[in-house]
Amino acid sequence: MTSETYEITLSKFIYGGETMGRLPAPDNRAVFVPYALPGEDAKIDLFFQKRGYARANLLEILAPAPERIKPKCAHFTACKSCHYQHIPYESQLRAKEEILKDQLTRIGKISDPLINEIIPSPEIWHYRNQMDFQIGRSSSTPNILEITECHIPTLAINDFWQELEFGENNLFNRITLRQDAAEKIMLIFHSENPETPEMTLEDDLSVVHVTAGEIIVMGGDDHIVTTLHNRPFRVLATSFSHPNTTVAEKMIEHLLSALRLDSNTTLLELHSGIGSFSAFLAPKVGRLVCVENSPTACDDFSVNLNDFENVELYQAQAMDVLPNLDFIPNILLVDPPVSGLGRHTLDRILTLGSGTLAYVSRDPSPLARDAARLIKGGYRLDAVTPFDVAPQTAQIDSISIFIKE
């Protein structure tokens, strides 16, 4: 394929960690470039083209923006997990606010949505209490970067992973490291091979092998215990937990202040997970009904909220539970996967007709899509509050409050 190289000026940040510019006239197509800043002149090389836009590799910054800084990590741009290390943190926050507003305006068709100031992460380096690492190459991941440093995981995880050594013919293709509230480490091996090898383990280390959804304990426990606002939460090896604890606590605080909760409130929570939000909502409401499909998350939930008598948990798909409800909740809280709510679930939510809907999102594009459907179905977007769960990356989490009109 013939290389197409251009010199362009970048104009604005866009969703996904790239910056947009336009190809020279008469083409004028939008072109998306990683690791650049608005206002910079750059030399680019197109690698993907459609009729209306193109994507390009960044070859050279010809005229850098004044705010450009030196990335902290030697693997920045090669690793591709971080997107914004070349940008001061305050500029990262403003960029995420702009991107969120752009997604809601363009995809959600919401005129001038109210975006509250983003809630920053108290720590912008070494904040993540869970990390995944690929071991060796496979057909799905042929290009593996050998890393020597990473500034995203907690210091305890950072120290631990650098001591790990694996042979060429190991049985595992991926590992996960998790840190608990006491800074102890859980090592999780993932593979399709049911064989679990013997190995020498440290006394205070929990090691499990996850295969075909089964947790095989090799040493220590099958779970960690993390804390949110000093409340302990058990998290099994295959359950999801918040990777940035301090920002998760701020999200809890926001929900408690944004929602009108009292002893007469009936709250329905979809995708409740291990109960991270539920445990703090339960004392504030008369009745809390939770729905979660993951068996291990439900097991964790039952342990984590066993001190509440006003909480009900259903292990099921949300779309299967909604048609069979015999009550209308005052408030509906949804915390769906990154992909957002499915169309069938949204349709049933609209039929339910709760007065207030709180939507926890990890991606502004599905949020904007779902917001458009909710508004068409009779809801009004009151406000969106973004949270910076993942500094240095393009991830944008948020909590949106919708009011039934």
pTM of the model: 0.94
Measured between alpha carbons, how far is 102 from 152 in angstroms, rounded to an integer?
A: 27
DSSP letter at 128 equals: B
pLDDT for residue 169 is more than 60: no
- In angstroms, the CA 20 to CA 98 distance is 13
How far is residue 310's CA from residue 288's CA, in Å, rounded to a whole number? Answer: 6
Average pLDDT rounded to a whole number, residues 352-373? 97
Give, in words, the CATH class of 94-123+244-404: alpha beta
Q: Which CATH superfamily hosts domain 4-68?
A: Nucleic acid-binding proteins (2.40.50.140)
Beta pairing partners, 20:
12, 32
Higher-confidence position of 39 and 194: 39
The answer on pLDDT for 145 being more than 80 is no
Please tell me which residue, 197 or 1, carries the higher pLDDT value. 197
Whether 4-68 shares its CATH topology with 130-226 is answered: yes
Q: What is the pLDDT of residues 96-122, one digit of tens each?
A: 999 999 999 999 999 999 999 999 999
Rounded CA-CA distance 30/56 in Å is 11
- Residue 40: pLDDT band by 50, 70, 90 thresholds? very high
Q: How confident is the model at residue 1 (pLDDT cuts 50, 70, 90)?
A: very low
Q: Angle, to 10 degrees, between the axis of helix 364-376 and the axis of helix 343-352?
A: 40
Does the pLDDT at position 267 exceed 50?
yes
Residue 171's pLDDT is what? 73
* Residue 206, pLDDT above cutoff 50: yes
Residue 170 has pLDDT above 80, yes or no: no
- Alpha helix ranges (H) inside 79-128: 89-106
| Through-space distance between the first and last CA atoms of the chain, rounded to whole angstroms | 55
pLDDT at 331 over 80: yes
Distance CA 56, CA 348 (A): 41
The mean of the pLDDT values for the chain is 93
Within 8 A by CB and 6+ apart from 204, the residues are 184, 220
- Indicate whether 139 pLDDT > 80: no
| 193, pLDDT greater than 90 | no
The token pair at 293 is 């499909």
The answer, yes or no, to whether residue 279 has pLDDT greater than 70, is yes
Fold of 130-226: OB fold (Dihydrolipoamide Acetyltransferase, E2P) (2.40.50)
Task: pLDDT band for 256, please (50, 70, 90 cuts).
Answer: very high
Question: Distance (Å, rounded) from C-alpha 270 to C-alpha 318?
Answer: 6
pLDDT at 18: 96
The three-state secondary structure class of 303 is helix
pLDDT band for 355, please (50, 70, 90 cuts).
very high
Beta strand 185-190 pairing with 174-179: antiparallel
Amino acid at 355: G
In sequence order, the β-bridge partners of residue 58 are 44
Is residue 39's pLDDT more than 90? yes
Q: Span 127-141, mean pLDDT?
A: 77
Average the pLDDT over each of 213-222, 249-258, 281-290, 304-313 and give the range with the smallest value: 213-222
Mean pLDDT, residues 302-307: 97
For 133-147, what is the mean pLDDT?
67
Q: Is the pLDDT of residue 27 over 90?
A: yes
Can you give the pLDDT at residue 203? 67
pLDDT at 201 over 90: no
What are the sequence ranges of the domains in the chain? 4-68, 94-123+244-404, 130-226
Q: pLDDT at position 138, please?
A: 54
As a whole number, mean pLDDT of residues 172-200 equals 86
Residue 293 CA: distances (Å) to CA of 161, 239, 303, 365: 32, 11, 16, 24
| Per-residue pLDDT reduced to its tens digit, 64-74 | 999 999 999 99
Rounded CA separation 293/276 (Å): 15
- pLDDT top residue among 328 and 142: 328
